[in-house]
Amino acid sequence: MIQAGNYYTLQVVKLVDFGAYLDGEEVGEILLPKRYVPQGLLAGDELEVFLYHDGESRLIATTERPKAKVGDIAVLEVKDVMHQGAFLDWGIMKDLFLPLSQQASVLYKGMKVPVLVYLDEMTGRVAATEKFQHHLKGKEILLKENDPVNLLVTRKTDLGFEVIINSMHVGLIHFSDIFHEMKIGDRLKGFIKKLLPDDKIDVMPGERGYKRIESEAEKIMRLLKENNGYLPYHDKSSPDEIYSFFGMSKKSFKMAIGGLYKEKKISFTQAGIQQIVD
């Protein structure tokens, strides 16, 4: 059955001044507005389109590709907030509605929020929800340690970044396993580091065996060399400052510079750390 929120390959029934009508089978003809009609399109041609409802609840086709279809989890930017809910940037002319009843946080314009795109059974319209955790819980975990996976970064926690694994499970990348800048909404490759009790999953970014892992101490020494032997960070720097520059937690940073100090590889200055050159 043809429904909004998905891609379909439909046949062109006829061309009109304001676009083209496509064969929607049991739902009738569906308008493809003129702005989306490819040059040279003819009646009888087949075309892949995405379907959504316009403001008058009519099913409309577009050749634009949204940032998520029904069933996908994505991080979308809030474009507007109203009493009834919020509108999200869907990547097409039509914004995606996030009802107030489906919100799990206080939203503001410009905020990026992880949502599940779903089809409302009552209205038949596509909507978004922040309350998608229950959709992921209870699913059998068929993954094994070291399996490659696709990750979507959805939330920053005290331990690291929460990620969605293969659109099916929730996992965690610990700060100590992050060696590059990471932000909410990033999509990246990774692999399963460890399967824990209570369906908890630790994940590593990158590919298994790829030469990219270095210890916190090695990273600090490398950054010192790249910055003429001095960095304006110390144990009084804020956790956000440390993570933004080093990609590690403040606890890991303090342990690493403490070890480097004992090994007489660095010295502390009033405003930072200095490499000791033999």
**Fold annotation for 7-62:** OB fold (Dihydrolipoamide Acetyltransferase, E2P) (2.40.50)
Give pLDDT, residue 210.
43
**Fold annotation for 216-275:** Arc Repressor Mutant, subunit A (1.10.10)
DSSP-assigned beta bridge partners for residue 21: 14, 31
Q: pLDDT tens across 114-173, in order?
A: 999 999 888 889 999 999 887 776 678 889 998 999 999 998 999 999 999 998 899 999
Query: How big is the chain by its Cα radius of gyration, in Å?
Result: 25
State the pTM of this model: 0.68
Q: Looking at the predicted structure, is the pLDDT value of residue 276 above 60?
A: yes
Please calculate the CA angle 179-183-189 and round it to the nearest 5 degrees: 65
Give pLDDT, residue 211.
41
Give the mean model confidence (pLDDT) for residues 47-71. 94
Three-class SS of residue 174? Answer: strand
Q: pLDDT tens across 214-251, in order?
A: 578 888 998 999 999 999 998 889 988 888 888 888 88
Is it true that 7-62 and 73-133 share their CATH fold? yes
Structure tokens at 141: 């975990």
| Torsion, Cα of 195, 133, 50, 47 (10° steps) | 30
Which CATH code of 3.40.50.300, 2.40.50.140, 3.40.50.1860, 3.20.20.70 fits the domain covering 140-205? 2.40.50.140
CA distance 87 to 108: 10
**Fold annotation for 73-133:** OB fold (Dihydrolipoamide Acetyltransferase, E2P) (2.40.50)
Domain boundaries of the chain, sorted by first residue: 7-62, 73-133, 140-205, 216-275
Q: pLDDT tens across 7-38, in order?
A: 999 999 999 999 999 999 899 999 999 999 99
258 contacts 267 by C-beta, under 8 angstroms: no
Half-sphere exposure of 278 (CA within 13 A, CB side): 3
Give pLDDT, residue 12.
96
Q: Where are the beta strands (DSSP E) in 120-218?
A: 126-129, 148-156, 160-165, 169-174, 187-195, 201-205
Distances in Å between the alpha carbon of 161 and those of 20, 93, 110, 202, 275? 45, 31, 20, 10, 31
